[in-house]
Structure 1
């Protein structure tokens, strides 16, 4: 059972998130908070596996709460769920210690998938956010990312390409007409073969095999 704390200043949003989580058999909402200070207190009281954290809240905001949660040594991971998915919120949240970043226009299925992935140690992002992160990371490198290993299977290359597009495991499964479990196996194999440890770096590796635009 994944123990989740919901931190959002809008009661209606928290109620909707609670109903969504309680529609599953593997996610339990153990607490709610309307601001960052409450989130810290509830995290201390309930010991959740994951905090679903809004960023703009009165008093202590979500970025500060995330940073203090990490500084206190909490084992809880933080998944940001916010309306504000611009770089001015994205990078400070990641620097504070958030493991993933979703926009509030995510579908219920995508949010549940992100909660499960975050709790399992993955780093889920909204597709457009992941693409932006990958582009920024590649632009800042002095050299292009290395090409993917030559020993990837055709199916692994398909999965790798879809990861680079920002698709979730469930979306990749739907696109390829396979099970989510099969996709997870391919992702695990890709992480091992590429020597990467998260989805952003895996997506970057997909770009290594693509030619640079324009003449050399």
Structure 2
């Protein structure tokens, strides 16, 4: 079962989402919050931590962007899915930029919500076609500052692992495809995170796409 925490200042939407998720046998909503600060406060008091957080962008007191920044600083292992009524590139780019591992719009179908949560829990992130397109567009933007990373620092095996991570394969799937152990996959992933100075797998994928380290075609 995947433990969840939800934050949204629209009470009716929050209660409806919580009810919908709790009715699914795969999910358990531990608690809800009506703003980012309330979410942070509850995380600080948690006995059982959520596996995934779903947070709205526009909230009073502390909005979703600032809350996500603080969560990644104070609770680096938690995965944050952004949730918003705004399906625009700017909002999406901002949330991915501060560490959100996926993005949902409020008119998403329940099946898409379920899939996103499961993918994030299992793989650490979930980028659908729209999110991937935005990352590619950012990489083509002349104002986007790319890293000065020397690509030679990444070994051929690490590049193979990186490409499979970006194609959203699980650790077990990568191990099977490359005929290596899951522990070896973990070691290569940790090395890539360190070399690219990425905070999580989602950040690693964004870095790889934006710096043309891999080809997803």
Q: Which runs of 5+ in 1 are unaligned?
A: 143-159, 170-183, 208-216
TM-score normalised by structure 1 residue count: 0.65
| Counterparts of residues 39-58 of structure 1 (less than 5 Å) | 39-46=39-46, 47-58=49-60
Mark the CA change 1:127 to 1:121 in structure 2 (over 3 Å): closer, same or farther: same
Which residue of 79, 82, 85 corresponds with 1:80? Answer: 82
SS in 2 for 1:31: strand
TM-score normalised by structure 2 residue count: 0.65
Q: Is residue 206 of structure 1 aligned with residue 198 of structure 2?
A: no
1: CA distance between counterparts of 2:39 and 2:61? 12
2: CA distance between counterparts of 1:103 and 1:51? 15
CA deviation after TM superposition for structure 1 residue 98, in Å: 1.1
Q: Which runs of 5+ in 2 are unaligned?
A: 147-163, 179-187, 190-200
**C-alpha contact 2:101 2:126 (8 A) present in aligned 1:** yes
2: CA distance between counterparts of 1:130 and 1:71? 25
2: CA distance between counterparts of 1:35 and 1:139? 33
Query: What's the RMSD between the two structures over aligned residues?
Result: 3.4
**Runs in 1 of length 4+ with deviation above 4 angstroms?**
138-142, 189-193, 195-202
SS in 2 for 1:59: coil
Mark the CA change 1:95 to 1:128 in structure 2 (over 3 Å): closer, same or farther: closer
